[in-house]
Amino acid sequence: MSTEYRWEFPLPRTHTGMLQGNAVLGTMIWGDGGVLRVTIGRADFWDHRGGLQWHAQMSYAGISDCLERGDQTTLATIFSNADRPAGEPEWPSVLPIGRLELDFGPKACLTTGSLNLATGEALVTLTVGDAEYTVRLALDMTHSVLAIALPAGLPTPEIRLVTAWHYVGDYLQSISFTPPTPFHDAALTGWTQARPADPPLCVGYRQHDREVTLTTGYGADAAAAHAAVIAHLNAAGDYTAIQARNQQWWNDYWAETPTVSIPNPRLQFLYDYGMYKFAGLTNPAGVPATLQGPWIEEYQMPPWSSDYHFNINVQMCYWPAYHGNKLAHLRPLFALVASWTETLRHNAQVFLGLEDGRMLPHAVDDRGMTIGGFWAGSLDHGCTAWVAQMMFRYYRYTLDTAFLRETAYPFMVGAMRVYAGMLERVGDDYLLPVSVSPEYRSKAQEFWGRNASFQLACLHRLCEDLLDAAAVLQEAPDPQWHDILAHAPKACLVGAPGQECIAIWDGTPLEESHRHHSHLAGITPFDIFDREDANWQTTIARSLDAWIYHGTGLWSGWCVPWAAMLHSRYGQGGASELLLEAWERVFTNVGHGTLHDADIPGFTLFGQGYADRHAFAGRNEVMQIEAGMAATAAIQEMLLHNRRGVTHVFPALPERWRTVSFSGMRTDGAFLVSAVREAGRTVRITVLSPAGGVLRLANPWGDAVLVTRQDVVCILHGAVLEIDTTPGETLLLTAAAVC
pLDDT, position 445: 61
Arithmetic mean of pLDDT over the chain: 95
Question: Given a cut of 60, is residue 617 above it in pLDDT?
Answer: no
pLDDT, position 652: 98
Cβ neighbours around 692 below 10 Å, total = 16
pTM: 0.97
- 351 and 418 in contact (C-beta within 8 Å)? yes
The DSSP line for 58-126 is --HHHHHHHHHHT-HHHHHHHT--TTSPTT--SS-EE---EEEEEE--TTEEEEEEEEETTTTEEEEEE
Question: Given a cut of 50, is residue 492 above it in pLDDT?
Answer: yes
- Residue 684 has phi, psi (to 5 degrees) of -155, 155
Could you tell me which residues are beta bridge partners of residue 665?
673
For residue 419, count CB atoms less than 10 angstroms from its CB and return exposed for 0-12, middle for 13-18, buried for 19 or more.
buried
pLDDT, tens digit, 9 for 90 and up, residues 7-39: 999 999 999 999 999 999 999 999 999 999 999
Return the DSSP state at 623: B
State mean pLDDT over 175-197.
96
Give the percent of the chain with pLDDT over 90. Answer: 89
Helical (H) or strand (E) element with 244: helix 239-255
Amino acid at the residue 575: A
Half-sphere exposure of 174 (CA within 13 A, CB side): 6
For residue 463, count CB atoms less than 10 angstroms from its CB and return exposed for 0-12, middle for 13-18, buried for 19 or more.
buried
**Can you tell me the distance from the alpha carbon of 622 to that of 620, in angstroms, rounded to the nearest whole number?**
6
pLDDT, position 375: 82
> Any residues with CB less than 8 A from the CB of 619 and at least 6 apart, and which?
none
- Residue 607 has phi, psi (to 5 degrees) of 95, -15
State mean pLDDT over 360-384.
92
- 113 and 9 in contact (C-beta within 8 Å)? yes
State mean pLDDT over 424-443.
90
Spatial CA neighbour of 458 closest among 559, 380, 361:
380
Cβ neighbours around 101 below 10 Å, total = 17
Q: Alpha carbon 661 to chain centroid distance?
A: 25
Selected residue with higher pLDDT from 254 and 82: 254
CA distances from 738 to 542, 681, 701, 703, 732 (A): 39, 11, 11, 11, 14
Question: Given a cut of 90, is residue 601 above it in pLDDT?
Answer: no
Question: Given a cut of 60, is residue 702 above it in pLDDT?
Answer: yes
pLDDT, position 374: 79
Question: Given a cut of 50, is residue 633 above it in pLDDT?
Answer: yes
Cβ neighbours around 112 below 10 Å, total = 14
**Can you tell me the distance from the alpha carbon of 694 to that of 250, in angstroms, rounded to the nearest whole number?**
33
**Can you tell me the distance from the alpha carbon of 555 to that of 572, in angstroms, rounded to the nearest whole number?**
20
For the ranges 31-35, 78-82, 211-215, 399-403, the lowest mean pLDDT is seen at 78-82
pLDDT, position 439: 87
Question: Given a cut of 60, is residue 76 above it in pLDDT?
Answer: yes
> Any residues with CB less than 8 A from the CB of 229 and at least 6 apart, and which?
188, 190, 202, 203, 204, 215, 216, 217
pLDDT, tens digit, 9 for 90 and up, residues 246-302: 999 999 999 999 999 999 999 999 999 999 999 999 999 999 999 999 999 999 999
- 411 and 360 in contact (C-beta within 8 Å)? no
Question: Given a cut of 50, is residue 739 above it in pLDDT?
Answer: no
Return the DSSP state at 588: B
pLDDT, position 608: 66
> Any residues with CB less than 8 A from the CB of 223 and at least 6 apart, and which?
none
pLDDT, position 609: 62
Question: Given a cut of 90, is residue 679 above it in pLDDT?
Answer: yes
What's the pLDDT band for 1 if we cut at 50, 70, 90?
A: low
Handedness of CA 507, 513, 517, 518 (dihedral sign): negative
- The domains of the chain, with CATH numbers, are 4-47+88-255 (2.70.98.50), 645-738 (2.60.40.1180)
pLDDT, tens digit, 9 for 90 and up, residues 652-678: 999 999 999 999 999 999 999 999 999
Q: Alpha carbon 474 to chain centroid distance?
A: 33
- 430 and 455 in contact (C-beta within 8 Å)? no
What's the pLDDT band for 611 if we cut at 50, 70, 90?
A: low
